[in-house]
Amino acid sequence: MRLEIGNIFIKDVQFGSETKVESNVLYVNKEELIKELSGDEHIKSIDIEIARPGESVRITPVKDVIEPRVKVEGPGGIFPGVLSKVDTVGQGRTHVLKGAAVVTTGKIVGFQEGIIDMTGPGADYTPFSKLFNIVVIAEPVDGLSQHEHEKAVRMVGFKAAKYLGEVARNLTPDEVKVYETETLLEGMKKYPDLPRVGYVYMLQTQGLLHDTYVYGVDAKQIVPTILYPTEVMDGAIISGNCVSACDKNPTYVHLNNPIIEDLYERHGKDINFVGVIITNENVYLADKERSSNMTAKLAKYLGLDAVIISQEGFGNPDTDLIMNCKKIEMEGIKTVIVTDEYAGRDGASQSLADADVRANAVVTGGNANEVVVLPPMEKVIGHVEYVDTIAGGFAGSLREDGSIEVEIQAITGATNETGFGYLTAKTY
């Protein structure tokens, strides 16, 4: 499967009378976008703000971050099974507004939403401070359940990203990158001497507000399966969860999964990147055993020499991570796990809730319990009063002067396990 990604580099975002890209500036018709997003009975008001890198702006609570993309050639459309019809995506051409993102905020949905600072020490912990953010503030009607609230805000974000992505349809990209995965037989013939490497992509699926969707289906309902890596780039996997901000995968991270990017960079050079095995994270032991058994079976069936495994979340999912690692290693396949750590504020506690001697190659995203102080910002988009109650915050986190003392788990994308601090480890 072959996909071309056409990147249109965005160097600024401004409000304007017409939504368009001109000289690498994204102009947004605010009124038109609000009208496009209105109409959901669960949302009583919508507003749009812009947050640029380096500005004294804090966005909180952050629900999702989404990159605007549009499918211009090939089957299906962006976010298949959600905004586009159900069709297999991942081939043809997709255009991207690279450097821009939609960020959704408003009244808090769950207690694990996060913070994006566009400047200061907090900005150093989140990749989203480097983007030109179109922030959608979606306020719910009174008395709305958390589940309905999450869905309403999720859909508002996807609609905003699709609306903005559409302006890239007829533009000439500044850069075109090609990603191609051969069939199993073609790959074996083409790269007979290269080690066969796969990616085990663990998706957060542990209960209400811990949802990830695959072609529109809640991944709680799936068994492990195989995807072409390029399917992920067209939005086959999207976020719907509210796990701790530092280690959740916003939709932006799924669209730009850096493990997939790194493996493609080495494909045909020193590895044969065979593909992606997606699996869910489960609550009950029997479900964990079933999914990890099937994941190891698929890795063996593909004839892999090595895999990289990433998880989403922490604590209970550590067991899924270690089960996957252990069972794949027992098939004679080398593994590297990618995770963050919860080692206590002093760094002296056990980092993961589970462990095994076979988990001997680890890429860490850092200790999410580390405490940082975020200075006050001149402007807050959203509702800063929830800082004391989000994961990583505590009574008194929000100080009178507007500064915030929190664990870095409260910062969106700070230690993300598939994240942007990832370093590919050699496993063969």
Quote the domain boundaries for residue 379.
2-427
93 burial via Cβ count (<10 Å: 0-12, 13-18, 19+): middle
d(CA 64, CA 352): 26
Cα–Cα nearest to 337, from 227, 259, 246 = 259
State the pLDDT at residue 309. 97
Average pLDDT in the chain: 93
239-248, 277-286, 384-393, 399-408: segment of lowest average pLDDT: 239-248
20-29, 127-136, 370-379, 414-423: segment of lowest average pLDDT: 414-423
379 pLDDT more than 50: yes
Q: How confident is the model at residue 304 (pLDDT cuts 50, 70, 90)?
A: very high
Strands 2-9 and 92-98, bridge-based pairing: parallel
Residue 394: helix, strand or coil by DSSP?
coil
Residue 220 DSSP class: G
267 pLDDT more than 60: yes
62-101 pLDDT, tens digit each: 999 999 999 999 999 999 999 999 999 999 999 999 999 9
Mean pLDDT on 220-236: 96
State the pLDDT at residue 317. 87
Options 242, 253, 390, 408, the catalytic residue:
242
Positions of E strands within 10-163: 12-15, 20-22, 25-28, 43-51, 57-62, 64-66, 69-73, 92-98, 100-105, 114-117, 132-140
d(CA 248, CA 265): 24
pTM listed for this prediction: 0.94
State the pLDDT at residue 418. 58
Could you confirm whether 242 is annotated as catalytic? yes
Cα–Cα nearest to 294, from 372, 383, 202, 376 = 202
State the pLDDT at residue 424. 33
52-63 pLDDT, tens digit each: 999 999 999 999
State the pLDDT at residue 417. 58
φ, ψ of residue 404 in degrees (nearest 5): -135, 130
Q: How confident is the model at residue 313 (pLDDT cuts 50, 70, 90)?
A: confident
State the pLDDT at residue 421. 40
Mean pLDDT on 272-279: 97
289 pLDDT more than 70: yes
Structurally, the chain folds into a number of domains equal to 1
15-40 pLDDT, tens digit each: 999 999 999 999 999 999 999 999 99
Mean pLDDT on 115-135: 96
Cis peptide before 75 (omega within 30 of 0): no
Mean pLDDT on 419-428: 38
422 pLDDT more than 50: no
177-186 pLDDT, tens digit each: 999 999 999 9
Q: How confident is the model at residue 361 (pLDDT cuts 50, 70, 90)?
A: very high
206-215, 330-339, 361-370, 418-427: segment of lowest average pLDDT: 418-427
State the pLDDT at residue 246. 87
